[in-house]
Structure 1
Amino acid sequence: MARRKEPTARQQRLGTELRKLREAAGLKGREAAAMLGTDSAQVSQIEFGTAGVSEERVRRLAAHYACRDTELTDALVAMATDRTRGWWEEYRGHLPTSFLDLSELEHHASYRWDVDFLHVPGLLQTEAYARALFSYMNPDFPEDDLERWVEHRMRRKAILDSTDATPYRAVIHEAALRIRVGDRAAARAQLTRILELSEADHIIVRVIPFDLDGFAGAGSSMVYAGGPVPQLDTVVRDGPHGTVFVDAEAQLGRFRTLFRRVETVSLEPARSRDFIERLAKEL
């Protein structure tokens, strides 16, 4: 099997999980290699995601590592045998790799949570809002590149509109709703779009108002994507040095707790819709 030059975040995650199982079993890479009848370099490539791995090998490794979690093993097999070439691959070489990895993560997510403080979450953005946001962030963008970024963002929303739509919960701070990324008309249209989406049974939108007592924030915005099993959940955070995909179990637990705390102090969905309607009328 040819070695991958640029593995996707999903391919890297499969390798990471296999490495975690090996280390939990107290085994060295050479011991796993001996069991497979290969060398340590091949095991390293599998664990870094630069080499694929068959279903048979995943199950042999899981058994060798004494993994008794059959649901986790089955989920890893599904990741290893997935040959999906998603729509996001059309943008490879034109958009940042992290954009494509996020699209793939969303495609496979069992649910999705968002927390945002400065901008409307990407899945809820209108085309005008996204265009204004990208234009501001990249003022020297050629028009073709700008349209490609906007188009990609709009296509990501398919996970909310399909027949098997992904359950989605968003907590948005009032600041993100008030900041006019575009003009007044675009701001009003954006709020209206959030209201329309929030009527769907699988979408819950909550608002954190400015006048909430004792709220110190959540550090920064985050995306939480549920995996087929909790061990395969992923948190995505944007930082000063780029996008980070978090998969450490302790950190995932902390972010789950953080989301529930933020959600608990936010307005109930009905009150949140009333709040957004008032903001829209102000415009």
Structure 2
Amino acid sequence: MNVEVQGVHWLHVLRDVSLTAGSGRVTGLIGPNGSGKSSLLRCVYRRIRPDRGRVLIDGADVWRTPAREVARQVAVVAQDTPADLDDSVEHVVALGRIPHLGALGRLSAAERALVAEAMETCEVTGLARRPFATLSGGERQRVQLARALVQQPRLLILDEPTNHLDPRHQVDLLRLVRALGVTVLVTLHDLQLAAAACDRLVVLDGGGVVADGPVAQVVTEDLLRAVYRVEAEVERGRDGLPRIFLPLPGPGGTVPAALARNGAAGGTGHAGTYDVSREPAS
């Protein structure tokens, strides 16, 4: 399934955004906070309608395609999933079959087996009877991925899917996503994960596309300096992929005087530490 975004504008957030996500490829959207990544994804899966421009899925405009047909082909793992659902984990995962259900709205034996398989794959089988609202952030994320897998999409859209996940589950999730063989659009803040997981990267800044291409061509020291305003070092591994080294703060960093702890004139202190003896009693 091919995705084309053609000259999309939305309010002041997106400006003339165009990109292509190739069939069966993992395309990553990266960029600083507020650059328009999540808004662009919402335009693709019909959450928000652009003021101008088009989104085409296999040549068909998503806003001229019946919503049910889009739902049969496109699965979404969003950032803003409600956390207060009282439904059981198993029921939430089974919701992924709704676009495919017949008039009676009942799961077949094959569909129930699909739900069980997705839960096993995402390591949430042991949570099946738990209310979704009682789960941790990482557990909820894995449940939502299982729901998306049950949908059997041709296009999978993931908005910061590694949020709340520990390192092992981050790697497992991205490995699984690559193995699916479907078209994937994903936003990631972790540049190292994005470089490892994606075939292509599109960089957004200020609501527009500032870079688009293969990972090795996009992730450069010049781009990190221009887009993220950070002096980073980029080296190439044996696999040709970039390895990113960011400057980390050490002790003795300078902060504005008004923000310094204990009234330290000049604002010089030690990062991440403060004198607990001066804390007010509680």
- Shared fold per TM-score greater than 0.5: no
TM-score (norm. length: structure 1):
0.26
TM-score (norm. length: structure 2):
0.26
Q: Tell me which protein shows more strand as a share of its residues.
A: 2
Q: Tell me which protein shows more helix as a share of its residues.
A: 1
